């Protein structure tokens, strides 16, 4: 199995790529070593090799947006507070978060064909 260096892998993304392809794995190690589940077939191993070779560690759209929101200081906690404040008529924090969201959406474009 081809190994990749640290920084050449997005472990969560690679794990999802492998499982989405129907490959039964226990997990992916930091060095790219794949721990296959019992019953893995030779065909699955070859398929995993192809996926590993083609793996692009760049964050997908959702990951990039979350990182963008974090960089803007947007947290789940302040979104909840904004929601409850807005329920009571105070939309100041909600409006602030909306502007930060707009800034992230302008910076991070959704790839064509991605939901």
How is residue 13 written in tokens? 């993304």
In a domain, 114, yes or no: no
**Residues contacting 42, CB < 8 A, separation 6+:** none
Number of domains in the chain: 2
pLDDT at site 81: 97
Gap between the Cα atoms of 53 and 75, Å rounded? 35
pLDDT at site 48: 95
CA of residue 75 relative to chain centroid, distance: 17
What is the domain extent for residue 43? 11-54
- pTM, entire model: 0.59
Full pLDDT tens readout for the chain, 115 residues: 555 555 688 888 899 999 999 999 999 988 888 999 998 999 999 999 999 999 988 888 888 999 999 999 999 999 999 999 999 999 999 999 999 999 999 999 887 766 6
> Do residue 96 and residue 65 come from a single domain?
yes
pLDDT at site 6: 52
In a domain, 50, yes or no: yes
Backbone angles phi, psi at 14, to 5 degrees: -65, -45
């Amino acid at each position: 199995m081809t190994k990749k260096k640290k920084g050449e892998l997005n472990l969560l993304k690679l794990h999802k790529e492998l499982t989405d392809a129907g490959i039964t794995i226990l997990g992916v190690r930091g060095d790219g070593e794949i721990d296959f589940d019992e019953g893995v077939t030779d065909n699955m191993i070859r398929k995993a090799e192809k996926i590993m070779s083609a793996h692009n560690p760049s964050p997908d759209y959702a990951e990039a947006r979350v990182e963008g929101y974090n960089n803007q200081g947007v947290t789940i906690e302040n979104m909840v507070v904004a929601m409850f404040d807005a329920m009571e008529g105070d939309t100041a924090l909600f409006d602030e978060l909306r502007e930060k969201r707009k800034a992230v959406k302008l910076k991070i474009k959704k790839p064509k064909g991605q939901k």
